[in-house]
Amino acid sequence: MLFSPHILLPGPTPIPEAVEQAMMTAMSDHRGHLFEEVKERVLSRLHTLFHLDADGRVAVLPASGTGGLEAVAQNFFRPGDEVLVVEGGLFGQRFGQAAEAMGLSLHRITTDWGHAFDPQTVVAYLERHPVAGVLVTHNETSTGVLNPVDRLAALMAPLTHRPLLMVDSISGVPSVPLDMAQWGVDVVITGSQKGFMCPPGLTMVAASGRAREALLEHRAGRFFFDLTPYFQGNFPYTPALSLWYGLDAALKLLEDEGETARYQRHRRLAAITRAFGQAAGLPPLVAPQDASPTVTALEVLPPLSPSSLRQQVAAKGLQIAGGLGAWHHLAVRIGHVGAVDEADLWAGLGILAQFLSHPEEALVKAFGTWHSSWH
């Protein structure tokens, strides 16, 4: 920490050493056997990780997560197609912006910041307005809310003209459960720099068999992001080899930990962070039932301000995120996602505590929460 920052951010997240080392693999022909092997392994592990049906496929593209959102708007919908965007924060808005920029015609349901959407309201709207797609955010990173995508998918299942369900889970998967086949989710978008423990630069777009049938063969305004070859396992353009090697190593680590342990770890880190905030005079802004396991927004009360607090902790080597949009002057966000465990969180909370009015109480409360999770 003396020489590199300690990061508790909802992306980019820390990179495990095995991933860093893998990314130093020497360059070789991307049509050669090394990449072929890595590609097969990564795609098959991703298939398992997303819980895809047999006809489902994953495209791995060189772009940050937003590129994946744009690719979805380009590959499954034509200009003028009507889609419903359910937004309750900055990233929900962004999904809508990407769709709008690709010429789609938008319906919107807006949820108050800090609250999960109500699946009943969404489905009631769909019954009155048949649309081609529903675009939702699984884990809203700007507010730290986990949305009930499972319940929405279940309620959408009986609809006669069931729209495609497109889910931005860039800060959700693989840190929180999402079972595409069982839930009935058509497309999931993720990014490499959050729970996948890699640097920014790759987006993974997983499509169910049903979604692949809806993939457009021809579509104006699409070239690089045409998903057709990717779903066939072909790479028309040079893949970002180093990031692929890193992803290969990261998927191995994720598999070794196991998904149940991984989900529990993220929930535990979120619970510790909330207990700390509550006792430290930084109240969590989201109710427990809506709270994200990967990022927690804490309210910063006067005389402190989010920017002054972030500056103070940054001077001690800790980086936390600021509030976004409407919460810019209200909150800081603690990321506990990816290659982060209790030791990493304690180090960060220890630094944060130095600048708060009840540091001992906060650390004791947080410890109590951790302790009760041992049994």
Residues that bind ligand PLP (CB under 6 A): 11, 64-66, 91, 137, 139, 141, 168, 170-171, 191, 200
Output the smallest distance, CB 294 to ligand PLP, in A.
9
Pairing of strands 105-110, 82-87: parallel
* Cβ contact 148:122 at 8 Å: no
Residue 270 or 356 having the CB closest to ligand PLP: 270
d(CA 193, CA 199): 5
Residue 338 or 370 having the CB closest to ligand PLP: 338
d(CA 247, CA 241): 10
d(CA 249, CA 246): 5
Pairing of strands 164-168, 133-137: parallel
According to DSSP H, which parts of the chain are helical?
17-22, 33-49, 65-76, 90-101, 119-128, 149-156, 180-183, 209-214, 228-231, 241-257, 259-280, 306-315, 342-353, 359-372
Residue 75 or 137 having the CB closest to ligand PLP: 137
Residue 275 or 290 having the CB closest to ligand PLP: 290
Residue 16 or 200 having the CB closest to ligand PLP: 200
Output the smallest distance, CB 96 to ligand PLP, in A.
12
Residue 64 or 228 having the CB closest to ligand PLP: 64
Output the smallest distance, CB 175 to ligand PLP, in A.
11
d(CA 3, CA 145): 33
Angle at 25 between CA 21 and CA 30, to 5 degrees: 140
Output the smallest distance, CB 141 to ligand PLP, in A.
3
Output the smallest distance, CB 234 to ligand PLP, in A.
24
Token pair in block for residue 239: 């893949």
Angle at 285 between CA 282 and CA 288, to 5 degrees: 110
Output the smallest distance, CB 171 to ligand PLP, in A.
3
Output the smallest distance, CB 316 to ligand PLP, in A.
26
List Cβ neighbours of 357 (8 Å cut-off, separation of 6 or more): 280, 281
Residue 200 or 283 having the CB closest to ligand PLP: 200
Output the smallest distance, CB 329 to ligand PLP, in A.
21
Residue 192 or 208 having the CB closest to ligand PLP: 192
* Cβ contact 198:75 at 8 Å: no
Residue 209 or 322 having the CB closest to ligand PLP: 322
Output the smallest distance, CB 295 to ligand PLP, in A.
8
Burial class of residue 176, CB neighbours in 10 A (0-12, 13-18, 19+): buried
